[in-house]
Structure 1
Amino acid sequence: MLLRTKVLTGAAVVALVATATGCGAADMTKQSSPYANAAGAKTVTLSVQSWVGARANAAVAQYLLEHELGYRVDTVQVDEVPAWDALSQGRVDAILEDWGHPEQEKRYVKQKKTVTDGGGIGVTGHIGWWVPKYFADAHPDVLDWKNLNKYAAQLRGPESGGKGQLLDGSPSYVTNDKALVKNLNLDYQVVFAGSEAAQITQIQQYAKQKKPFLTYWYEPQWLFNEVPMVEVKLPEHTEACAEKGAEDPSTVDCAYPTTPLKKFLNTEFTKKGGKAARFLKNFTWSKADQNEVAQMIAEDRLSADEAAKRWVEKHPDVWKAWLK
């Protein structure tokens, strides 16, 4: 039932961002990428979501498609739900990291058959609430949600209005956090950092000062390498909770699901995309691989292309199997 919590709302503007190919801005709801399904051209258009793990996938795929297979690759940033529409219509050829959109999968994969399941990327996604390990070590009972109110005073923030602070990322991300706080009767306020990058910066600052914090977070994510965090156990995720929440998100009172992350390809692209389509179907790597590239992009400030290049040079044993 649950969309990936980073899903942007359907009302959000669908944007095409400038990329290394030199494309200018365009509205993907109104026009196709200039490279999507270009007749006779060796081109591929990848949809890239805003979080750094998705950017890491696309960076490595783009680098290998260009340097090993001789394709020109265009990347576009499209919000998650509209990306399915663009994929179905051939405006993009592939989504490399989907966190679960059952309605879109039913419509486009099973019913219209305009989108094809491209298989898993080898990484399992999980969303939850986390506290820093140094705080959990000192207060192990904080790892049970039933004890969170006990620590609300210690977890206050300047914007939490005297309540405990639950730090979230962008307000445009769809999460269950406000519903969970309300339905579990927690003395907490959801506070938005503004973006993934801003949330990372805030977590790093708290960790540097050894301050306690409670945050919505997810894995895979490279930040765990720098700031060890431990998950707070929420009420068990159940199908009943999922079904109820699908009808009314405000009723959610259970943990987020664990989701094997998958790829999806435009069906015509799978038929006519040749080596590129086979390559993307074969693309699968580990959480450690993704985090390695993501950290180079986000923390080391390397360009996506340079981060991909370094990973490719270091791990030929992984990616050469994708070219078969």
Structure 2
Amino acid sequence: MKYLTWLGLAIASLLGTAQACELDRNVRLAGMSWMSNLMMVEIEKAILEDGYDCEVVVEFGDTVPMIAAVVRGDVDLYNELWIDSAPQNWISANEAGEVVSLGDIYSGGVESWWIPRYVAEQNPGLTSVYDLPDYKDLFEDREEPGMGRIYNCPEGWVCGAINNNLLQAFGLEDDYIMFSPGSGAALDAAIASSYAREQPFVTYYWSPTAVLGKYDMVELEMPAYDPEGHQCNMDPECESPVASAFPKASIQKTIPTALQQNAPEMAAFFAEINIPTDEVNTLLAWADEQDAEPDQVAEYFLANYESLWTQWVSAEVADKVKAARQ
């Protein structure tokens, strides 16, 4: 039997084909509704298919059911688990050894208040949220003269409650209003319009996103992150809002623990995947400008970021992926 196994591998090598995929079934990747996830899924799919000879399917769904699918073992990889906000079913499964985190997929998620760089350069004294009262005329709200405007995220998002509480915690409620657009698209449109005309504005935003890849923005300084205070700030009914920065989010990959046993090489590949957040922003901005589909972004990444993704895999796998594109 050992001789036949060796002979089969030798023949495969002579024929220029690699060993079969570690799994004798489809590899199942969780697909969300946003570009950063879909882009990563297509990158992983291309490498798995061309480098590991696997058949890959993408299971689409919302965050909660897809995390539940990983917990059940119905999905092999979930790419963007914001670990500080992980649901209890994942935490319980992780403690029971049924699922495992494979570390960060990006260098970190960022939430903050931002101004355009052209505003920062024209107003060098504006570096902190505590400087904003001195600049409220610069950011005047046309609908409420005498008050400055800070763009908030849409009503109903958790960040909206946080920003409303921070307005009070930073002592800005007499100088600024939190303006909530009707949707995420409306917020993006307001930023794009103001930036194109080089108008001054202050806005909440998060990363990785196309917006922070497309526009040169400067983060306003905030006090140090206070975990307990941030928990209160998340509550719209927080009685004593706390002056706290947003946490620097850890966005991780997670798989069923059984996959490490059944496909250790594949699990090792998943563990190595990591893209610096600034590069993710740049890729998302390129996708937005080109109106590219996720698979087109993946091909652009494989062609232009070879020095990055080849670190995730063996030289043999890398050569196969590159050969498939020649």
What is the TM-score of this pair, normalised by structure 2? 0.74
Could you tell me how far apart the structure 1 residues matched to 2:272 and 2:206 are?
Answer: 25
Q: State how 1:216-235 maps to structure 2 within 5 Å.
A: 216-235=204-223
Which residue in 2 is equivalent to 1:294?
284
Shift of 1:281: 1.7
Which residue in 1 is equivalent to 2:122?
138
Which residue in 1 is equivalent to 2:50?
67
SS class of match (2:30):
strand
1:29-86 Cα deviation digits (max 9, x unpaired): xxxxxxxxxx942221224353x4333322322332233333223142413x554333
Amino acid at match of 1:142: L
User: Which of 184, 187, 194 pairs up with 2:170?
Assistant: 184
Could you tell me how far apart the structure 1 residues matched to 2:277 and 2:208 are?
Answer: 6
1:212-265 Cα deviation digits (max 9, x unpaired): 111112334443454211111122213453465578873342111223432122
Between stretches 96-105 and 288-297, larger displacement belongs to 96-105
Indicate conservation of the 8 Å contact 2:29/2:77, yes or no: yes
Could you tell me how far apart the structure 2 residues matched to 1:273 and 1:77 are?
Answer: 24
Amino acid at match of 2:188: I
What is the RMSD of the two structures over their aligned residues, measured on CA atoms? Answer: 3.0
SS class of match (2:62):
coil
Between stretches 252-261 and 227-236, larger displacement belongs to 252-261
Q: Does 1:55 align with 2:38?
A: yes
Distance of aligned partners of 1:73 and 1:293 in 2 relative to their CA distance in 1, 3 Å threshold: farther
Distance of aligned partners of 1:320 and 1:191 in 2 relative to their CA distance in 1, 3 Å threshold: same
SS class of match (2:271):
helix
User: Which of 148, 161, 166 pairs up with 1:164?
Assistant: 148
Indicate conservation of the 8 Å contact 1:66/1:73, yes or no: no
Amino acid at match of 2:180: F
1:260-305 Cα deviation digits (max 9, x unpaired): 4321222233333455433222212223432343123222211110
More helix by share: 2
Indicate conservation of the 8 Å contact 1:128/1:217, yes or no: yes
Shift of 1:110: 4.3
SS class of match (2:126):
helix
1:146-166 Cα deviation digits (max 9, x unpaired): 221232343244567864222
Distance of aligned partners of 1:94 and 1:136 in 2 relative to their CA distance in 1, 3 Å threshold: same
Which residue in 1 is equivalent to 2:310?
320
Shift of 1:173: 2.9
Distance of aligned partners of 1:63 and 1:103 in 2 relative to their CA distance in 1, 3 Å threshold: closer
Distance of aligned partners of 1:243 and 1:199 in 2 relative to their CA distance in 1, 3 Å threshold: closer
SS class of match (1:254):
coil
User: Which of 69, 73, 92 pairs up with 2:75?
Assistant: 92
SS class of match (2:83):
coil
Could you tell me how far apart the structure 1 residues matched to 2:250 and 2:237 are?
Answer: 22
Which residue in 2 is equivalent to 1:212?
200
User: Which of 271, 274, 282 pairs up with 2:272?
Assistant: 282
Distance of aligned partners of 1:133 and 1:249 in 2 relative to their CA distance in 1, 3 Å threshold: farther
Could you tell me how far apart the structure 2 residues matched to 1:246 and 1:200 are?
Answer: 23
Could you tell me how far apart the structure 1 residues matched to 2:282 and 2:168 are?
Answer: 37
Which residue in 1 is equivalent to 2:12?
none
User: Which of 113, 118, 123 pairs up with 2:97?
Assistant: 113
Could you tell me how far apart the structure 1 residues matched to 2:76 and 2:198 are?
Answer: 45
SS class of match (1:268):
helix
Distance of aligned partners of 1:263 and 1:159 in 2 relative to their CA distance in 1, 3 Å threshold: farther
Could you tell me how far apart the structure 2 residues matched to 1:40 and 1:192 are?
Answer: 50
Amino acid at match of 1:93: D
Indicate conservation of the 8 Å contact 2:29/2:78, yes or no: no
Could you tell me how far apart the structure 2 residues matched to 1:42 and 1:82 are?
Answer: 19
Indicate conservation of the 8 Å contact 1:116/1:270, yes or no: no
Indicate conservation of the 8 Å contact 1:109/1:117, yes or no: no
Identity of counterpart residues, as a percentage? Answer: 20
Which residue in 1 is equivalent to 2:244?
254
Gaps of 5+ in 1: 1-38
SS class of match (1:73):
strand
Q: Does 1:203 align with 2:191?
A: yes
